[in-house]
Structure 1
C-alpha cells in the first residue's frame, strides 16, 4: 500500500489530477490567477518536485483577463481539453463576479506543448456568473456539470448538468441538480460549486463543495444509478450532511474542490482536494496562497457508498502565511517545519 505525502503540491488550490497511461497529470488554480500550468509525474508523491509548464496565460484585457480559476484537464476523443473560468472585470453592477466558462483544445499527444487553441466560451441559457466546469463521457454521451448563478434563486451558485454536442458546446438546455439549502451549505456564502464525478459499481456520484472557502468549506454528495436518466433531477439523491469537512484534530481546515483519480496499481480510488492548515487569514482569503493540494484514499461502505474519512494531517513542510515558495518548491533555510507553520 502506497504511503502518500501530504500536501502533494504546495500552494495549488482547486487541484485536478488526471491519470492517463500510468502518468499523473496535474493542474490547479495558480496563486496569481493569471495562468494555467501543467505538471506530470509517474507517482502522486513526485508531483511536488515535477516541473511546471505554463500552457496558457490570461488575456491582457477584456474577456479572460482576470482571475483565472480552477482549470481541469480532460481527454476526450483523443484530444486534450482544459476547462476553466475567467473574468473580464471585477464585478457586475449587481455585485456578482464576471466569470464565465471557457475551453482550450490541444490535439497533440503531449498536453504540455504550446499548441493549445482557444475554443471560446461555453454558452449557457443564463448569461450569469459561471465556473467550475467538469465533464465525463457516460454511456457514449458527454456531460458537463458546472456551477452558475440563477438570479431567481438566493445565493451565489447552484449545480447544473447538460449533454454536450462537442467539448465546448451544450447540446440541450441544462437542468439544476442542487442548490444551497442545508445549513452547512449556507455559511458565509450560499454556494454549491466544484463538482467532480466518481464511479463505483452501478452508481454515479458527484461531489461538490459548499459554503465560504474558509473553515466552513465542506464537500457534499449526489448519487444516481448507472443507466438512469441523468438529466432528470429525480434520478439524483442528495446527502443531507457533508461527507468531508474540517478536521481540527488533524489541523486541516476547509477541505474541498476535489477531483478523483486512481492509485498507481488502480486498486484504490483517490480523492485530491485542497485545504489550509491554519485558520487565521490576513486580508482577503482569495489572496492567501496556502490552500495546498492533498490526497486521501476513498473507502467503500458495504452499501456501495463512498467513505471519504477525514482530511489527513500534514507530514511534510508547508509554508507559513508570509512565505513564497522557492523555485524548487522545497523548504527555505530557517523556515519553520509544518508543526510550527500550523500554529503561525
Structure 2
C-alpha cells in the first residue's frame, strides 16, 4: 500500500511544474526531473515485484506513474548523447574563427583562490566570466589583468557580483540592473577578429527559493528581458551565466523560442553544474546559448575548486562574414506570454 502512496506523490511532482504557478515550492520540482525519474522507475519495479496491482485504483496509479515517467524522459532526453546534436560542427573549419570562454560561479565565500587561478592558467580561455565575485575576489584576480587587459568589474557583496576578463578589446560595454537593483547583467561587444564583434550578454538572476525570491517571477522576467535585447542584435551572439534555471523549463524554452539561440547541451549531455559537492543532487543551471553562425567545437565541465558550482568551458567556432538577423518571428500568443512574464517580474520586485 505504501508504494502506491509514493506513486501518487511522484505523479504529482512530475506534473506540478507544468502548471503556471511560480512559487518556489512548485518550480523547484522542475530541477529534479532526472533524479525523480530514477525514483519513479524504482517504484514501478517494486510495485511489479512486491505489490502487484489488484484493484482498479492501483492499476490507475501504476499507469499514471508509467505515463509521468515517460513524460519526464521525453522532457530530458534531448539533453543526452543519444539525441541528435542541435548544431553540428562542419568538416571544414578554415573559414571559422575560434574563441574560448569559461563561465564560473565561484561562490563568494569560497577562499580557494589558488585553485581557481590554476584552472584559468591551465585552460587559458580568451574570455572568462566570474559570478558571486566581491572586492576580495577582485583583488585575487588582479594577477590576470596583464593577460586580460579588458575587464568589466562589478564587485557586489551580495552574491551577485560579476567580473568579465577578456584578451580582446571590449566596446559598448554597459552594466544593467534589468529587474532587481542589486542584480547586475553585463552587455558588451568582444572584438575577437577584424570586422564585426561578438555580442556577449552575461546574466545571473536570483533563483526562486526560500532564502531568495519567493517566486520565479523576477528570474523569468530578467531572462526574457535579456531575450528582448538579443532580438535587437545581429549575430554572432552569446548569452551565458548562472541562470538559476534548468534548460528544459518553460521559460528557458520560451527564451530560446524568442531568440532563435541554440542550446549546445542538446545532443551532448546534461553537464550538471550545481551542486558541486553532492553528486546525487546536481542540476544543469549554468548555461551558454549561441546564435546560429556559431559552432561549439568543445564543451566541458571543469574540475572542482571549492565552489558549489562547477565551471564550464566552451570552445566556439564563429563564422566570418556579414552579420545577419537570425531571430524568429513570434506569434501573438507568444508575444503576450513574454510580456506577461516580464510585467509580473517587474511588479513582483
TM-score normalised per structure 2: 0.27
Higher Cα Rg, which structure: 2
Higher helix share: 2
Q: TM-score by structure 1 length?
A: 0.27
Quick check: which one's strand share is greater? 1
